[in-house]
Structure 1
């Protein structure tokens, strides 16, 4: 009888734990929902079929401006713009509760995992790009008082057609105490400056035997203050040098740690593939490599990883980084967006690079496959 009681208790505990770990962004469809669902869209206000907006060069267009409490559950864009690399020139920003600096700021393509400035189809649990040029986000974005989303055209040509649908719900009660806010931040290094160009391949002893125990000169995905949890990153790489770009280890520094709190074993390992991804593209709900270029100068790759199985919490600060090559010997270009939730206020973001500097361009860094000279 005692054994049966213990078994039942363990079973109940397991079920409770499973429910606690269930994705909180998915409403329980077996229970009557009490929110009111809304949509902000580019629908033609006259009832015609001109369901888009034009955005002039230098102009900012507000696609959502609403009071809370509420949650943005889905964002969809598609864009008709003839300017090359318009995905890098159009900037998405999101502001919570009347703040003056955005909690989300990124070129619109990078936010949706298109960090090379061109379109490709891919899918994950939180972000996807479908046929044709359909940009989707399912990150839950709660707000207590107010939400505002803007699109800024930093290009030289008009956005001919900006289509959007933003699904959000207003809640009948205040959000739970301690609710964290969604954040996303763009960073780039064009190029990451490797410490040497005197190498022939990734196995050259000069670089292969070098130690990097403290993350000095790592590429930084995120450097945030406050308390919250990191939930993932999308990253794109334009190789300036030959050979495999992904010998770098991920390193996370939690709450001011001087040495990594979490250390990985290689770039493809962090993104949950193996062995250079086998040269084969893939997309899964929480990880993938939907674009893989040749391992040569000029090769282009895009990868992603989400931590919804176990977000990485921090109580004071977090610095999320990755080496560019083993011990940072390579000088490739990286473009990334980190995604996390935290309590407001957030620390100021680094300034976005000027629009022309966001366009992926090979850099003269020297080394294998690059005749640009030494540095």
Structure 2
């Protein structure tokens, strides 16, 4: 009986942990009272032209609705003949009539495709399925109004923009402590390392350099107000030879001058180890779907979601990562940070112009320069 009771308590604990980890998902054992809706690109005439054409410079509103409600799923697939269209098309979301978006990123980066190329991968919150199917399961609540737009900043039309956005509305108001989804794009092309006079990562010149306050770290996001950080997707285009991931993650909570949380290396933060071992992988909360050799021109992508313990902040928050130990490397980083916070939010940095968003090798000095000077394809 004692074993049975212990097993029962273990099962209950596991179920409670699962329920807490998936609290945005409806309880399948209880009758739901919300109304489910879908905003889609379906042909309004009843025909089979279930897509939108988006001219260069034009924007299309893919969702506009009143609340209270919550977006539960977003799906896109795109046909666009222009190279790097995943970098040229911009996704934005606005909550409750705000003037500036709470979500603003190139559409590919939002779905973890920060190198501007398609790659199938799978996680709990984001995935890219076969073929070129972009999926998001982040819950996005709104009290009064929600609007999502897609803007074509390319030079050629999007010939087929397909989308389905599922959302729930309900009579009850959202709880008073509900916080809003945010996603912010950042890039450094390149990060500027403090020296190019190095031949390998582990030499004394590099290893003995201290970085106790995160000065010159690559910044994933900064926020003011209260909320919680829930994850990041990041891609790297190496400008230099050698292992790019010597840098540590550092988080600064509520105005801290030194890291409130500090890690041991890039692959450790993304929950791999030993340089990821050269084998791509993708799991529910972490992964490295793209891994290439540690040479100039190599491309890699990573993600981590803090669903086990979102990082709370009450006044301010800054999430960063070194680029090489103490920021000695000068590779290109492209990232999207995901978090929830109360509105209003601090202004986002301006989105870089289209041509500056396209991944391109940079002349930065250091090892591997012979491989540089051409745009990646």
Per the shorter chain, which TM-score range? over 0.9
The CA deviation at 1:18 is: 3.2
Equivalence for 2:128: 129
The SS at the match of 1:206 is: helix
Instruction: After superposition, give the CA deviation of every residue in 1:241-295 in whole Å (9 maximum; x if it has no partner).
Output: 0000001000000000000000000000000000000000000000000000110
Kindly indicate whether residue 364 of structure 2 is the aligned counterpart of residue 365 of structure 1.
Answer: yes
Contact 2:21 2:308 in 1 (8 A): no
> In 2, distance between residues paired with 1:269 and 1:12?
30
1:62 counterpart = 2:52: no
2:168 matched residue in structure 1: 169
| Cα drift, residue 12 of structure 1 | 11
RMSD: 2.1
Per-residue CA distance 1:129-168 (angstroms, 9 max, x = gap): 0000000000000000000000000000000000000000
For residues 299-358 of structure 1, the C-alpha deviation after alignment (integer angstroms, 9 at most, x for no partner) is: 000000000000000000000000000000000000000000000000000000001000
**Offset of 1:229 from its aligned partner?**
0.1
Residue 183 of structure 1: aligned partner: 182
C-alpha displacement at 1:120, in angstroms? Answer: 0.3
Q: Structure 1 residues 370 and 12, CA, compared in 2 at 3 Å: closer, same or farther?
A: closer
Q: State how far apart, in whole Å, the 2-side matches of 1:282 and 1:325 are.
A: 22
Distance 1:27 1:308 in 2: 17
Give the drift of 1:25: 1.6
CA distance in 2, matches of 1:30, 1:135: 29
1:198-277 correspondence runs (5 A):
198-277=197-276
Deviation string 1:14-72 (CA, Å, 9 cap, x unpaired) is 58963773311211111000000000000001111100000000001000000000000
Partner of 1:307: 306
Map of 1:337 onto structure 2? 336
1:42–1:258 distance in 2 versus 1, CA, 3 Å: same
- Cα distance change, pair 237–59 in 1 and its aligned pair in 2 (3 A): same
Aligned residue runs from structure 1 range 95-114, under 5 A? 95-114=94-113
Tell me: CA distance 1:20–1:83, structure 2 relative to 1, closer, same or farther (3 Å).
Answer: closer
Paired position in structure 2 for 1:143: 142
Q: What SS does the aligned partner of 1:183 have?
A: strand
Aligned length: 370
Q: Mark the CA change 1:175 to 1:201 in structure 2 (over 3 Å): closer, same or farther.
A: same
Structure 1's unaligned 5+ residue stretches are none
Give how far 1:177 is off.
Answer: 1.1
Matches for 1:77-116 after TM superposition, within 5 Å: 77-116=76-115
For the residue of structure 2 that corresponds to 1:334, the secondary structure is strand
Structure 1: how far apart are the matches of 2:365 and 2:191?
13
Q: 1:29 to 1:17 in 2, by over 3 A?
A: closer
Whether 2:117 is the aligned partner of 1:118: answer: yes
Q: Which moved more, 1:171-180 or 1:127-136?
A: 171-180
Q: Could you say if the C-alpha distance between residues 19 and 330 of structure 1 is closer, same or farther in structure 2, counting changes exceeding 3 Å?
A: closer
Whether 2:272 is the aligned partner of 1:285: answer no
**Is the partner of 2:301 in helix, strand or coil?**
strand
CA distance in 2, matches of 1:162, 1:17: 40
TM-score normalized by structure 2? 0.95
Which stretches of structure 1, 4 residues or longer, exceed 6 Å deviation after superposition? 10-13
Counterpart of 2:48 in structure 1 is 49
TM-score by length of 1: 0.95
Please report how far the alpha carbon of residue 106 of structure 1 lies from its aligned counterpart in structure 2 after TM superposition.
0.1
Farther-moved stretch of structure 1 (110-119 vs 12-21): 12-21
Contact 2:102 2:183 in 1 (8 A): yes
